[in-house]
């Protein structure tokens, strides 16, 4: 039986949860998964050293064991001097897994939710609908990927691990996953999940801004809203939306990184917020934002350009076969 459409169905008054789930899965397109994964992996390989710098600044809470850095270049040159290229790429394996899985699943779920909401109606989604679609996709994605982000943070914070391998608490991604699970259980793998869940607002704000910018731009040029843009246009839209989202939501990343840090112990989110505010003030919640902006803006541009071009190519191939 065909899924119901129209205002009543859209309001969810007649459709059962089972039929709604069936309708949602009708809009699943694995091309979006492949395209998002490709973009995430490529951008991570190019820009991982800046992610390492961002995390080291974010957790810099005054502990004596932490190295002191005067800035981004000093941090990178110090890591290079003491640990070499391997030091700059500590944590790259879980970062690639995490970024690839996150972007792939995010675009996968976001596109499905967006098309589900558009079913049976004319016109584009509103800014609020884009926001809610992206937030839902982010929450689902985080449930799958949070353990990977915990291992990445732990690996990145192995100071001077490149000098003497025996000093390493974790030998790699899978060793870290197993060791965290063995000593800390499931809660250890899901440290930072609450601020991460709150952080879905970051992706939601970014995707809302990205979609609205694309639609307004095409409307300004009197073109259909789904018109394919040039590479430069995609880069511009992605950069503006990412900077907007970072400035609005960065403090949650500091809270999340500190919860996941193996060198300090907090009882929960409120303990991190209270101690950071008391010792470091507002500045403490924005530590690492400059290397973060420098890293995530080009990373976002690379990811979105790769995603848009790969997804358009794969979806065109599917339509040609059909």
pLDDT at 263: 80
pLDDT at 292 over 90: no
In the chain, domain spans:
22-317
Q: What is the pLDDT of residue 8?
A: 38
pLDDT in tens, 252-276: 888 888 888 878 888 888 999 999 9
Average per-residue pLDDT for the chain = 83
**How far is it, in rounded angstroms, from Cα 113 to Cα 284?**
36
Distances (CA, A) of 290 to 73, 267, 279, 286, 310: 12, 28, 21, 9, 30
DSSP state at residue 170: -
Q: Which two tokens stand for residue 307?
A: 């995603």
* CA quadruple 180, 186, 188, 191: dihedral sign: positive
Report yes or no on whether pTM surpasses 0.85.
no
CA dist 138 and 284 (Å) reads 26
Q: Give the class (CATH, top level) of 22-317.
A: mainly alpha
Give the pair of three-digit tokens for residue 258. 């500190």
The residue written with tokens 């309708």 in the block is 23
> What would you report as the CA-atom Rg of the chain, rounded to the nearest whole angstrom?
21
Residues contacting residue 51 through CB under 8 Å, at least 6 positions apart: 44, 91, 95, 156, 295
CB 236 within 8 A of CB 209: no
């Amino acid at each position: 039986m065909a899924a119901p459409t129209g205002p009543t169905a859209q309001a969810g008054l007649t459709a059962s949860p089972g039929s709604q789930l069936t309708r949602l899965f009708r809009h699943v397109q694995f091309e979006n998964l492949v395209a998002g994964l490709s973009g995430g992996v490529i951008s991570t390989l190019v820009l991982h050293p800046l992610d390492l710098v961002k995390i080291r600044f974010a957790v810099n809470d005054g502990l004596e064991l932490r190295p002191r850095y005067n800035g981004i270049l000093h941090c990178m040159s110090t890591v290079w001097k003491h640990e070499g290229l391997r030091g700059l790429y500590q944590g790259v394996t879980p970062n690639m897994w995490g970024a690839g899985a996150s972007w792939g699943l995010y675009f996968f779920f976001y596109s499905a939710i967006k098309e589900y909401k558009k079913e049976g109606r004319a016109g584009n989604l509103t800014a609020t609908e884009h926001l809610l679609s992206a937030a839902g996709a982010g929450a689902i994605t985080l449930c799958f990927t949070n353990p990977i982000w915990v291992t990445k943070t732990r690996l990145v914070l192995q100071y001077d691990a490149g000098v003497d391998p025996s000093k390493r608490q974790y030998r790699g991604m899978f060793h870290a996953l197993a060791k965290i699970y063995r000593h800390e259980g499931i809660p250890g793998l899901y440290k930072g999940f609450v601020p991460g869940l709150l952080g879905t607002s970051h992706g939601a704000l970014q995707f809302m801004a990205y979609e609205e910018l694309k639609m307004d731009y095409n409307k300004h040029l009197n073109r259909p809203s789904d018109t394919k843009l040039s590479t430069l246009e995609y880069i511009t839209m992605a950069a503006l939306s990412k900077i907007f989202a970072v400035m609005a939501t960065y403090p949650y990343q500091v809270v999340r990184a500190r919860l996941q840090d193996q060198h300090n112990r907090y009882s929960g989110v409120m303990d991190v917020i209270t101690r950071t505010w008391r010792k470091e003030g507002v500045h403490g919640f924005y530590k690492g934002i400059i290397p973060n902006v420098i890293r995530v803006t080009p990373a976002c541009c690379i990811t979105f350009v790769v995603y848009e071009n790969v997804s358009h190519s794969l979806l065109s191939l599917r339509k040609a076969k059909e």
